[in-house]
């Protein structure tokens, strides 16, 4: 077996793992104190690395927010000299300062190792041909998977995002066996296969998909698996915690093992910041344990998930988190109801008659805020006949109403009618002139 089944670490018993984490946490606090941000924050609380005696002591440490990262942009979190840093990744920063994360050699090696281990857990092997269909550059999915797949020993194709015909050509030319892409893009890629009269099973060697960077439901995953005829594995990461390689589904596909030798994960109530009981959904809070250039302590990810109870048959002891059910800032309030886009997607994906794309539009009509859901009908089902469409429309409307206690307007549109952005899918368009009602 390859070195990317890191058995000793991946199957370590829970009490040894807790001791290991406590030791790494102490080290991390010691390292973080060298940055101006944590140096000041810990001094203010009278805390030092030696105060971390066990894992439970983590709650003495302050939480860190995206706002903290922005306010101390660019070097306030740097814990090594500037010339020891060899790479940065940063967010697009459409509002205010971007957030930037720095890595030294150790950090990049550690990250690549985590991605290699993740890919291996999902079934990728040295010798696979790995086509990375996502944006390279500042976005971490590009270089993150690139170095991880190289580290695993795969032949790696840095294909980049978009241009489906070229993607298909690359798949055919080099015998691609594994693809990484965002879920919304895969529906488009499949469409391109149809248009070219190509057949995935006949014309390619594809055997495995890795999907991530975009929240999606189990229904969306099943659809992707049905379209491509291979299994799709869920990847979770965020740039503040490197990027991909934070948590990953193993071959059992029953939640994502979060690599607890590299991170401490807590799940808290986003209002009170108190831990929620196991199995309850809350905000994921994460601490890096193996980063030198820029350790981050108790980072509020704004991602909502829960720890899954029980052991995984694969033998890995690292706890599993559920797929991300949304972000605390994705939630919108309309007519007094709190709604997460994933609640709507879950309902939509259960209808075989509809395609993979939908758009929730919030707008103010005659001074009242309304919600409209535009849904693409599946090309296999669409005939243009009115009566079945009207029945389908009404059934979707009723099911959404039962879930969110609010009756939306549902509009069915032809296959391909919704806008297809190059990057991540846009699921909610908020055009309201009266805020948050």
Strands 326-327 and 320-321, by their bridges, are unpaired
CB of 122 to Zn ion, least distance (A): 10
In this complex, which beta carbon is closest to Zn ion, that of residue 58 or of residue 250? 250
Whose tokens are 């010339």? That residue is 83
Contact 347, 396 (CB under 8 A): yes
Exposure string of 182-217, with b = 16+ CB inside 10 Å and e = fewer, is bbbbbbbbbbebeeeebebeeebebbbbbbbbbbbb
CB of 149 to Zn ion, least distance (A): 20
CA distances from 167 to 99, 173, 181, 266 (A): 31, 10, 11, 39
CB of 117 to Zn ion, least distance (A): 12
End-to-end CA separation in angstroms for the chain: 57
Residue 309 C-beta: closest distance to Zn ion, Å: 14
Q: How far is the CB of 313 from Zn ion (least distance, A)?
A: 7
The Cβ of residue 108 has, within 10 Å, a number of other Cβ atoms equal to 17
Q: What is the closest distance, in whole angstroms, from the C-beta atom of residue 316 to Zn ion in the complex?
A: 5
Q: Are 226 and 202 in contact (CB under 8 A)?
A: no
Choose between 41 and 312: whose C-beta lies nearer to Zn ion. Answer: 312
Cβ 279 to Zn ion shortest distance, Å? 17
**H/E element, 129:** strand 129-132
What's the closest the beta carbon of residue 290 comes to Zn ion, in angstroms? 21
Beta-strand ranges (E) seen in 154-281 are 155-157, 178-181, 208-212, 231-238, 243-249, 256-258, 263-268
Question: Do 265 and 258 contact (CB within 8 A), yes or no?
Answer: yes
- Positions 160 through 179 that interact with Zn ion (CB under 5 A): none
Cβ-based nearer residue to Zn ion, 255 or 295: 255
Q: How many residues at the interface with Zn ion, by CB under 5 A? A: 5
Instruction: Return d(Cα 194, Cα 269) in angstroms, integer.
Output: 45
Convert residues 29-68 into a mask of x (bound to Zn ion by CB under 5 A) and - (unbound). Answer: ----------------------------------------
Nearer to Zn ion, 252 or 417 (CB): 252
Q: Which is nearer to Zn ion, 122 or 392 (CB)?
A: 122
Closest CB to Zn ion among 121 and 292?
121
Identify which of residues 250 and 354 has a Cβ nearer to Zn ion in the complex. Answer: 250
Nearer to Zn ion, 117 or 427 (CB): 117
3-state secondary structure of 403: helix
In sequence order, what are the residues at sequence separation of 6 or more whose Cβ sits closer than 8 angstroms to the Cβ of residue 91? 98, 99, 100, 138, 239
Six-digit token pair at 414? 């032809």
Residues from 223 through 262 that contact Zn ion (CB under 5 A): 250, 252
The helix (H) or strand (E) run that includes residue 316 is: none
Q: Which is nearer to Zn ion, 77 or 248 (CB)?
A: 248
For the segment 294-353, give every residue that binds Zn ion (CB under 5 A). 312, 314, 316
Query: Residue 112 Cβ, how far from Zn ion at the closest point, in Å?
Result: 21
Least gap, CB of 245 to Zn ion (angstroms): 16
Find, among 135, 199, 146, 205, the residue nearest to 177 by Cα.
205
Shortest CB 323 distance to Zn ion, Å: 14
- In 318-436, where do the E strands start and end? 320-321, 326-327, 332-334, 337-339, 354-365, 368-377, 409-413, 428-431
CB of 248 or CB of 382, closer to Zn ion: 248
Among residues 123, 324, 346, 335, which one has the least CA distance to residue 219? Answer: 346
At 307, phi and psi to the nearest 5?
Answer: -80, 140
Distance from C-alpha of 258 to C-alpha of 236, rounded to nearest angstrom: 9
State which residue, 25 or 250, has the beta carbon closest to Zn ion: 250
Positions that interact with Zn ion (CB under 5 A) = 250, 252, 312, 314, 316
């Amino acid at each position: 077996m390859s070195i990317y089944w890191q058995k000793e670490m991946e199957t370590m018993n829970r009490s040894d793992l807790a001791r290991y984490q406590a030791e790494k946490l102490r080290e991390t606090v010691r390292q973080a104190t060298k940055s101006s941000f944590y140096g000041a924050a810990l001094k203010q609380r009278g805390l030092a690395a030696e105060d971390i005696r066990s894992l439970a002591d983590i709650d003495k440490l302050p939480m860190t927010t995206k706002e903290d990262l922005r306010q101390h942009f660019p070097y306030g979190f740097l814990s090594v000299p500037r010339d020891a840093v060899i790479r940065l990744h940063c967010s697009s920063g459409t509002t205010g300062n971007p957030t930037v994360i720095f890595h030294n050699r150790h950090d990049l090696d550690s990250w690549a190792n985590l991605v290699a281990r993740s890919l291996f857990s999902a079934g990728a092997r040295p010798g696979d041909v790995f086509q990375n269909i996502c944006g390279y550059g500042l976005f971490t999915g590009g270089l993150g998977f690139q170095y991880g797949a190289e580290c695993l020993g795969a032949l790696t194709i840095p294909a980049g995002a978009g241009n489906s015909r070229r993607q298909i050509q690359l798949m055919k030319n080099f015998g691609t066996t594994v693809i990484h892409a965002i879920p919304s893009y895969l529906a488009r890629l499949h469409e391109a296969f149809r248009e070219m009269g190509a057949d995935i099973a006949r014309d390619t060697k594809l055997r495995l998909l890795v999907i991530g960077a975009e929240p999606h439901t189990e229904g969306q995953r099943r659809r992707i698996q049905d379209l491509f005829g291979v299994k799709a594995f869920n990847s979770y990461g965020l740039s503040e915690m490197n990027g991909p390689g934070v948590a990953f589904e193993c071959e059992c596909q029953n939640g994502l093992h979060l690599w607890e030798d590299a991170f401490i994960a807590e799940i808290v109530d986003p209002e009170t910041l108190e831990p929620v009981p196991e199995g309850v959904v809350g905000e994921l809070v994460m601490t890096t344990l193996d980063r030198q250039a820029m350790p981050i302590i108790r980072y509020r990810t704004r991602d909502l998930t829960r720890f899954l109870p029980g052991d995984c048959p694969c033998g890995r002891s690292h706890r599993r988190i559920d797929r991300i059910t949304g972000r605390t800032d994705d939630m919108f309030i309309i007519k007094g109801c709190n709604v997460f886009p994933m609640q709507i997607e879950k309902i939509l994906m259960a209808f075989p008659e509809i395609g993979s794309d939908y758009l929730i539009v919030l707008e103010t009509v005659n001074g009242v805020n309304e919600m409209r859901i535009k849904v693409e009908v599946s090309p296999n089902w669409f005939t243009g006949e009115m009566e079945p469409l009207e029945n389908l429309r009404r059934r979707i409307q009723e099911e959404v109403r039962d879930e969110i206690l609010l009756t939306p307007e549902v509009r069915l549109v032809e296959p391909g009618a919704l806008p297809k952005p190059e990057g991540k899918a846009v699921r909610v368009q908020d055009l309201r002139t009266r805020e948050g009602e």
